[in-house]
Structure 1
Amino acid sequence: MKKLLLILSLFLAITSSFAQENEKNTIITTDIDNFWTAYDKIRLTKDTTLQYQYLNNFFLEKGTPGLKAIGQARNYTAKSYIDAINNYPLFWNSVRANTYKVKTLSKQIFAGIHQLKQLYPALKPAKIYFTIGALRTGGTTLRDMVLIGSEIAMADKSTITSEFPKAFSNLVTYLQNNNTENTVLTNVHEYVHTQQKTNQADNLLGQSLLEGVAEYVSVKATGRKSALPALSDPSLDQEKVKDRFSRQMFNWFSGYWLYSNEENEFNLRDLGYYVGYNICKKYDEQATDHQLAIKEMIELDYSNPAELYAFVDKSGYFNAPVQDLKARYEKERPRVISVGPFKNKDQEVDPGTTELRIEFSVPMNTQIRNFKYGSLGPDHFPQINKLISFSPDGKTAVFELKLKAGQSYQFIVGDGFRSQDRISLQPYPIEFKTRDK
């Protein structure tokens, strides 16, 4: 009996040691300690040469692959860090204690990943790097790496943001509503992203579903509640959200639906996550094999229209087939009615023409415009210097134009133009030729 107990104790010790080592190799936090070592030295001197030397010696050169990856993903430079450290000392001092809490959360995060593995047995290994950035992301992914900007992810309403410039207003709003208790769910969400085929879909529908899958699967795996405000707002008109989303979901840009604090009629951000989450919920509810449903969600090709539309239709979330909604979208898209003072395809345009007038079918967003090269490339793109004016009704825009004599021009009024209802313009190609002097 004693021998059996000894063997069992040894087995449990080995299992526990293996689990700890596996956790250590999955969740890496050394960048946090290195950053604060460098930070303390940097704050002791005004000598910028020494500041850069401390940053390099104690942080950047000792950095994990995750630090290098988040730097690549967000274009961080040594100057990014030095400027952030020198400009916002109150912020850094107030967030410091929270960043150390990451180590106490590691076991919970690792347990969440283990639960995800039970739900999705095909789970591929990935590493979670809790690093420190320069205030450009709280979390992202790159290949098989989850990259957490701990200075944002671990901040909360107690974090001091009074030093931040006006350009950081969106970040201030985010930090005021952030809660470090959501860190476990956030990390499992990001871990799901490392399993998906892409992190960038071709349109709003695909991107919202991509995010919705990560949120739904992480909630189901961990048993924790989503922090999405929309999911706990009883006053939210779900049918109205569905209708507005369906009219914009083929846009290539995300508008207020994702990653934005842009004002909207619902007074809620991240509603694209909400829509994607509920598509997944409906899909799972009608499935007979729930593990297979999770597998299909994660392995979906979000940029393949046939796969994407079939998945959404099978969920039954919308009141019409996606192809019918796409046809309606194309019918409702704003269009270019005419250009002036010359006609499109005119071969005798006066080279002294200094303005381009574009008339649209509906009132347009006057703050956003977009021109693209035609198939002939940049050599045939006219010099469009600036917007001169938009008509009061938003239907006519006038741009400053500079032309050369005897030159053929070709360009596209691009789908970055959008209506006041946030629907992308049907691209409109323009061709013309100026006469010789």
Structure 2
Amino acid sequence: MPTKHCIFLFMYLLSVSSFCLGQHPSISTTDINNFWRAYDKLNTAQSKEDSVTIIQTEYIDQATNQFKTFIRIRKFTAAEYVKIIGRYPQFWNSVRPLTENIVDRKNEIEGILKKFERELPAFKIPDVCFAIGCLRTGGTTSGNLILIGSEIAAADKQVVKDELTPWLNSIIGNTGDIVSMVAHEAVHTRQKGRNTDLLVSVMNEGVADFVTELVTGLNINSHIHEYGKAHACEIQNEFNEAVKQKSTDLKPWLYNGSSAGSRMHDLGYYIGYAIAESFYEKQTDKQKALEWLLDKSKYKKIYELSDYSEGCN
């Protein structure tokens, strides 16, 4: 057989083999290593300006392409890193080993993503970038890329929280685990459409919680759900009234950790979950129900078909 035909056959067999084996995600922890290298060099800084320069040159300027996307989306700056490192030294020292251990859990993360590939319609395995953020995002997505703020996602109940603000205290150590965070964000990569109003925005987050739990048994917001169940009627009626008024104000329901006061923050996650669960349980065709849950254009109809829209006495 001519050499060029052998090469062609080899490449063909390789591509078929790769297809049969499924996708292998890129799971990067490079930026975590870069952060702690920069962090250690802060000991040599003689001034705040020196510290900013170290974080800029040793961390931000060394960013992987994936982390560059994270920086752009969340607008992280060297000055902000220096500020929060100086403000919470005990926290950073306690969370460090937890972030450094993420590299040892890549197989576990890949296993969860492959489970989604098997069970969710048209799911394409995303790439994952673990980096250190500025204590204001546990995870987000950009296209088919998952971006994880490891200082939040990896924190457990043993990290030192004495220095943290009340909101950070309520978040840190309560997001489940890095695997559940990746799973939640993985569902977001599959959801189609835009967040056009309060209802769709709430369902966007709640559906991600519901589908994650349905497929993997994991939930990053169990503490929010516990509060929601304890105040179910009050929350349901208040939210239904907001929907009736066609509210576009997310602040009472989502991303409101710093302004929720004595009430539990981010109750929209619980509400969206409850709507999704009510709809899903009523459907006989579960595969079609899943397809609807991943399509934001269906969310208003799902709300109407669920028991949640009927109110609570």
Give the shorter-chain TM-score range. 0.7 to 0.9
Is contact 2:199-2:300 (8 Å) kept? no
Q: Deviations over 1:324-355 (max 9, x none)?
A: xxxxxxxxxxxxxxxxxxxxxxxxxxxxxxxx
Inter-CA distance 271–151: structure 2 relative to 1 (3 Å threshold) = same
Deviations 1:64-87 (A, max 9, x none): 223212211221122222333334
Structure 2 residue aligned with 1:183:
178
Q: Aligned pair in 2 of structure 1 residues 226, 36: CA closer, same or farther (>3 Å)?
A: closer
Report the CA distance shift for 1:224/1:205 in structure 2 as closer, same or farther (over 3 A).
same
The aligned counterpart of 1:173 is 170
Between the aligned partners of 2:50 and 2:226, the Cα distance in structure 1 is 50
Tell whether the 8 Å contact from 1:228 to 1:270 is kept in structure 2 after alignment. Answer: no
Note closer, same or farther for the CA distance 1:152–1:258 as it changes in structure 2 (3 Å cut): same
Q: What is the CA-CA distance between 1:161 and the residue it aligns to?
A: 3.8
CA deviations over 1:370-394 (Å, ceiling 9, x no partner): xxxxxxxxxxxxxxxxxxxxxxxxx
Structure number with the higher strand fraction is 1
In the alignment, is residue 93 of structure 1 matched against residue 93 of structure 2? yes
Aligned to 1:299: 295
Q: Where does residue 155 of structure 1 map in the other structure? A: 155
- In structure 1, what is the Cα distance between the partners aligned to 2:228 and 2:80? 42
Larger Rg: 1
| Contact 2:278/2:306 (<8 A) preserved | yes
SS of 1:193's equivalent in the other structure is helix
Displacement of 1:191 in angstroms is: 1.2
Contact 1:212 1:274 in 2 (8 A): yes
Counterpart in the other structure of 2:250: 254
2:24 to 22, 25, 42: 22
Q: Does residue 1:60 correspond to 2:60, yes or no?
A: yes
Quick check: 1:216 aligned with 2:210? yes
- Written as runs of structure 1 = structure 2, the 5 A alignment for 1:370-381 is none
Identity in percent: 31
Q: Where does residue 396 of structure 1 map in the other structure?
A: none
Contact 1:38 1:55 in 2 (8 A): yes
1:37 Cα deviation after fit: 0.8
Aligned position for 2:198 = 204
1:319 lines up with 2:313 in the alignment: no
Q: Secondary structure at the match of 1:68?
A: helix
Q: Are residues 114 and 319 of structure 1, via their aligned partners in 2, closer, same or farther at CA, if it must alter by over 3 Å? A: same
When structure 1 is superposed on structure 2, of 222-231 and 31-40 the one drifting more is: 222-231
CA-to-aligned-CA distance 1:135-191 (integer Å, 9 cap, x gap)? 221212222221111112222333334445xxx43123222x525x43212211111
Task: Tell whether the 8 Å contact from 2:209 to 2:219 is kept in structure 1 after alignment.
Answer: no
Structure 2 contact 195–296 (Cα < 8 Å) conserved? no
Change (3 A) 1:92 1:315: same
3-state secondary structure, aligned to 1:43: helix
Give the direction of change, closer, same or farther, for the CA distance of 1:196–1:48 in structure 2 (3 Å limit): same
Query: For 2:114 and 2:253, how far apart are their aligned partners in 1?
Result: 31
Q: Give secondary structure in 2 for the equivalent of 1:22.
A: coil
Q: Deviations over 1:278-324 (max 9, x none)?
A: 211122112222122111111222xxxxx43222222343217xxxx
Structure 1 residue 231: deviation in Å?
Answer: 3.5
Identify the residue that residue 427 of structure 1 maps to in structure 2: none
Asked whether the equivalents of residues 119 and 291 of structure 1 are also in contact (C-alpha less than 8 Å), the reply is no
Which residue is equivalent to 1:75? 75
Per-residue deviation, 1:131: 0.4
Unaligned runs of 5+ in 1: 1-13, 302-306, 321-437
The answer to whether 1:107 aligns with 2:107 is yes
How far did 1:41 drift?
Answer: 1.0
What is the alpha-carbon distance in structure 2 between the residues aligned to residue 234 and residue 169 of structure 1? 20
Equivalent residue of 1:101, what SS?
helix
Structure number with higher relative contact order (C-alpha < 8 Å, ≥ 6 residues apart): 2
1:245: how far off? 1.2
* 1:43 shift after superposition: 2.2
Scaled by the length of structure 2, the TM-score of the pair is 0.82
Shift in Å, 1:276: 0.9
Q: Contact 2:184 / 2:220 at 8 angstroms: preserved in 1?
A: no
What are the superposed Cα offsets for residues 100-158 of structure 1, whole Å, 9 maximum, x if unpaired?
13223322222111111122130134221110112221212222221111112222333
Task: Give, in whole Å, the separation in 1 of the partners of 2:70 and 2:123.
Answer: 23
Q: How far apart, CA to CA, are the structure 2 residues paired with 1:82 and 1:234? A: 36
State how far apart, in whole Å, the 2-side matches of 1:234 and 1:125 are: 32
**Secondary structure at the counterpart of residue 190 of structure 2:** coil
- The answer (yes or no) to whether the contact 1:112–1:221 under 8 Å persists in 2 is no
Cα distance, 1:44 vs structure 2:
2.8
Within a 5 Å distance, the mapping from 1:214-363 to structure 2 comes to 214-224=208-218, 227-232=221-226, 236-249=230-243, 250-261=246-257, 262-263=260-261, 267-301=263-297, 307-319=298-310
Change beyond 3 A, Cα 1:48–1:318: closer
Q: CA 1:281 to 1:29, structure 2 compared with 1: closer, same or farther past 3 Å?
A: same
Amino acid at match of 1:69: T
Within 2, Cα distance between the matches of 1:85 and 1:226?
Answer: 25
| Greater helix content | 2
Between the aligned partners of 1:89 and 1:234, the Cα distance in structure 2 is 33
The whole-number CA distance in structure 1 between the counterparts of 2:213 and 2:70 is 25
Superposition deviation, residue 49 in structure 1 = 5.5
